[in-house]
């Protein structure tokens, strides 16, 4: 079946550092890919998405490119802030449902 | 008001008790979902509903039941709570693959 694998956390960075959170997927067909973010005490919210190969999703300084050849959708940000501390989930669409990765906790130190 | 509202936010209950978690939404979405979140396991789908007359089991439905009382309301019941059902529970709605989550219910079974 379809699945999502993302790097285990926690990831700890200093403010203004470059961020990469790796995500790879296994899927039949051509799913849409997503990154969701969960801030402390809140539910998940959509951060960005890409619906086809070579699409780049972007939002709030974060970017991810749908790479069909490497089945990847890595999340990047050039300069992180303390306010980016959260749990990040990579996900893919499977028919009418979404499959989530296990999440990566990100800590940003001031 | 939040688009997806879950009640209660926190609940402690005893083993063997019946408990209901409630979810209501103002998004007007037909599709609703219940997930549980456990540390290191990400989100796992319990039940989902694509309209009022449609109920489907997810990957971990044993020990749970649901009721879709109206388009806007989707409740989750634990008929006889057990300690390994201690978790954070999320309700979500979706349209066109974009999910909106509630803030979660933290349930502790003692």
Q: What is the pLDDT of residues B2-32, one digit of tens each?
A: 799 999 999 999 999 999 999 999 999 999 9
Between chains, do A49 and B42 touch, taking CB under 8 Å as contact?
no
A52 at interface of B, judged by CB pairs closer than 8 A: no
pLDDT value of residue A94: 83
* Sequence-distant (≥ 6) Cβ neighbours of residue A38 within 8 angstroms: A44, A45, A86, A87, A88, A89, A103
Question: What is the tens place of the pLDDT at every residue in A32-79?
Answer: 999 999 998 888 999 999 999 999 999 999 999 999 999 999 999 999
Residues of B with Cβ-Cβ distance to A97 under 8 angstroms: 33, 45, 48
Q: For residues A59 and A88, give the distance between their C-alpha atoms in angstroms, rounded to a whole number.
A: 14
In this complex, how many residue pairs, one in chain A and one in chain B, have their CB atoms less than 8 Å apart? 43
Question: How big is chain B by its Cα radius of gyration, in Å?
Answer: 13
pLDDT value of residue B1: 63
Residues of B with Cβ-Cβ distance to A43 under 8 angstroms: 4, 90, 92, 101-104
Distances (CA, A) of B40 to A19, A43, B31, B54: 21, 16, 27, 31
Residues of B with Cβ-Cβ distance to A32 under 8 angstroms: 97
* Sequence-distant (≥ 6) Cβ neighbours of residue B30 within 8 angstroms: B50, B51, B71, B95
A44 at interface of B, judged by CB pairs closer than 8 A: yes
A100 at interface of B, judged by CB pairs closer than 8 A: yes
Question: What is the tens place of the pLDDT at every residue in A76-94?
Answer: 999 999 999 999 999 998 8
B99 at interface of A, judged by CB pairs closer than 8 A: yes
pLDDT band at residue B46 using 50, 70 and 90 as cut-offs: very high
Structure letter (DSSP) for residue A76: E
Between chains, do A43 and B104 touch, taking CB under 8 Å as contact?
yes
B55 at interface of A, judged by CB pairs closer than 8 A: no
Q: For residues A87 and A11, give the distance between their C-alpha atoms in angstroms, rounded to a whole number.
A: 10
Between chains, do A98 and B31 touch, taking CB under 8 Å as contact?
no
């Amino acid at each position: 079946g379809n699945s999502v694998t993302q790097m285990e956390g926690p990831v700890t960075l200093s403010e203004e550092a470059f961020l990469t959170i790796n995500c790879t997927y296994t899927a039949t067909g051509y799913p849409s890919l997503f990154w969701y973010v969960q801030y402390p005490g809140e539910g998940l919210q959509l951060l960005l998405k890409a619906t086809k190969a070579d699409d780049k999703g972007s939002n709030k300084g974060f970017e991810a490119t749908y790479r069909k050849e490497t089945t990847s959708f890595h999340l990047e940000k050039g300069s992180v802030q303390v306010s980016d501390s959260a749990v990040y989930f990579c996900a893919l669409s499977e028919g009418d449902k979404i499959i989530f990765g296990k999440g990566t906790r990100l800590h940003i130190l001031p | 008001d939040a688009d997806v509202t879950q009640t209660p936010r926190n609940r402690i209950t005893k083993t063997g008790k019946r408990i209901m978690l409630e979810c209501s939404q103002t998004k007007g979405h037909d599709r609703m979902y219940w997930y549980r979140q456990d540390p290191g396991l990400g989100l796992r789908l319990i039940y989902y509903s694509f309209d009022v007359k449609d109920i489907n089991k997810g990957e971990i439905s044993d020990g749970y039941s649901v009721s879709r009382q109206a388009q806007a309301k989707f409740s989750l019941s634990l008929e006889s709570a057990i300690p390994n059902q201690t978790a954070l529970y999320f309700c979500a709605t979706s349209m066109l693959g974009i999910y909106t989550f509630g803030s979660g219910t933290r349930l502790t079974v003692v």
